[in-house]
Amino acid sequence: KTSMKGVWRYKEIVHPVLNNNQIITKMEGDTNIYHHPKLSEYSGIKNIYMKHEGENPTGSFKDRGMTVAVSEAIRQGFKKTLCASTGNTSASAASYSAYAGIDSYVFIPSKKISKNKLLQAYSYGANIVNIDGDFDTAMSNLRETLKKRSDFYVLNSLNPWRIEGQKTIIYEIMEKMRPDFISFPAGNLGNTSAFGKALIEMKEMGMIDYVPRLIAVQAEGASPFYNYINNHEETLHPVRAETVASAIKIGNPVNYIKAKRSIEFSHGIVERVSDAEILEAKKIIDRAGIGCESASATSLAGVKKLREKGVLDASDTVVGILTGNLLKELNTDIQINMLTIDQVMS
Ligand code: F0G
């Protein structure tokens, strides 16, 4: 019996028609929520909590969507999966495809993504296609490929089953607490879409009597959704993305329409933070002993910024989502100041 833990505890609202024996799961979900005085002090929010999606099997929230999407791929009889990725999706897709016994193909800007995400995809046996460009190039290459090939099952978040799985992050939070705000990084806007959908459904089913406000946080150099929402633009204007947070280095997010609905329904906020703010927040999270990859730290950086602007109140309850594990970025350039034995002994 593998089905009633984590994501699959919510099977009826995630994929009701799948039989239990069709589920491909590595026990994703049921992640921990952390509280630490350093986070409160830094953000100015006493009741700030961090839900750690880096605790999932391949080290990111992607596994929640991947268990559902790969189960569906198998149900439909596909033998090959395909995704474009900044690293985490490809790591998760490669793992779940291999676990299900089918082949995976990943389109990645291999020179630009974190080396250990690339190592994950490689080790799980993915067919790696190097894209000369960035994530947005990889995504358009994927769309072109799909025009010519019908034997690939797409595992990007434009696949609705990914969204269904990622909804469970919100279900888990709302079962445990009553946050005023939920803050998270926003790149391709899969989570933004999923979180809004979860809240809409929970409200409609009478499972919640209020709706927490979503806070989607982008990196300044990759913030087309920030512009789209806050400047009330007709359509999203893609940008050439640049940020240290390689996971969210995305200039042309595919899910922006669904994401807009999420922001509107939850009276949400779209914020943006600089690379310096991201790295500073990451250090706070790391030094609190919690740890995360840099893209994830936007969730804390955004909360601090919104508190400083007076949008958030010191007494608000906020849950931040840490989307990826600290170990995802071993190649980040760091200067480690080490001590000598003599310094310690004296
Ligand atoms: N945080 C991490 C660690 C991610 O890997 C991603 C997306 C996001 C946040 C943004 O989430 O796309 O739902 O807005 N990574 C994708 C990938 C693009 O290919 O791994 P989103």
pLDDT in tens, 253-289: 999 999 999 999 999 999 999 999 999 999 999 999 9
Amino acid at site 100: A
> Same domain, yes or no, for 146 and 280?
no
pLDDT at 135: 95
Q: In angstroms, rounded to a whole number, what is the distance separating the alpha carbons of residues 210 and 227?
A: 28
> Which residues pair with residue 322 across a beta bridge?
52
- DSSP 8-state class, residue 60: B
Q: What is the mean pLDDT of residues 321-330?
A: 95
Judged against a pLDDT cut of 60, whether residue 2 lies above it is answered with no
Q: Is 314 found in the same domain as 201?
A: yes
How would residue 331 be classed by pLDDT, with cut points 50, 70 and 90?
A: low
Number of structural domains, the chain? 2
Which atom of ligand 1 lies closest to the CA of 117? 20
Residue 344 lies in a domain: no
Q: Which residue's CA lies nearest to atom 9 of ligand 1?
A: 185
- Whether 43 contacts 307, CB under 8 Å: yes
The answer to whether position 346 is within a domain reads: no
Of the residues 126, 158, 190, the one at which a domain ends? 158
- Determine whether the shortest distance from the Cβ of 323 to ligand 1 is under 6 A: yes
Task: Provide the residue range defining the domain that includes 140.
Answer: 62-158
Instruction: Output DSSP code: residue 220.
Output: G
324 lines ligand 1 (CB under 6 A): yes
How far apart are the CA of 345 and the centre of ligand 1, in A? Answer: 45
Return the bridge partners of 106, or none: 83, 128
Distance CA 259, CA 12 (A): 23
Task: Tell me the CATH number at 143.
Answer: 3.40.50.1100
Does the pLDDT of residue 134 top 90, yes or no? Answer: yes
> Do 77 and 201 share a structural domain?
no
Mean pLDDT of the chain: 96
Of 137, 158, 179, the last residue of a domain is 158
Residues 145 and 232 placed together within one structural domain of the fold: no
Whether 335 is in a domain gets the answer no
Give the pLDDT of residue 5: 86
pLDDT at 254: 93
Q: Is the CB of 185 under 6 A from ligand 1?
A: yes
Return the best residue to mutate from 55, 105, 191, 296 for the ligand 1 pocket (most ligand atoms within 8 A of CB).
191
259 part of a folded domain: yes
Together in a domain, 56 and 145: no
Determine the pLDDT at residue 110: 84
Best mutation site among 86, 246, 294 for ligand 1 pocket (most ligand atoms within 8 Å of CB): 86
Confidence of residue 345 (pLDDT cuts 50, 70, 90): very high
**Average pLDDT value for residue range 10-33:** 96
Determine contact, residues 264/229, Cβ cutoff 8 Å. Answer: no
Which pLDDT belongs to residue 336?
83
83 and 208 share a domain? no
CA atoms within 13 A on the CB side of 307: 24
Considering the domain architecture, whether residues 149 and 273 belong to the same structural domain is answered as no
Q: Are residues 96 and 165 in the same domain?
A: no
Q: For 32-41, 251-260, 261-270, 325-334, which range has the lowest pLDDT when averaged over its residues?
A: 325-334
* Shared-domain flag, residues 271 and 147: no
Q: Which residue's CA is the nearest one to ligand 1's atom 15?
A: 247
Give the ligand 1 atom nearest the CA of 194. 13
267 lies in some domain? yes
One domain for residues 265 and 325? yes
- Ligand 1 atom nearest 156 alpha carbon: 19
115 and 183 fall within a common domain: no
pLDDT for the residue 337: 86
Q: How far apart are CA 37 and CA 183, in angstroms?
A: 18
Of 131, 158, 185, which one is at a domain's C-terminal end?
158
The answer to whether residue 132 is domain-embedded is yes
pTM for the structure as a whole = 0.97
Same domain, 245 and 220: yes
Q: Does residue 1 sit within a domain? A: no
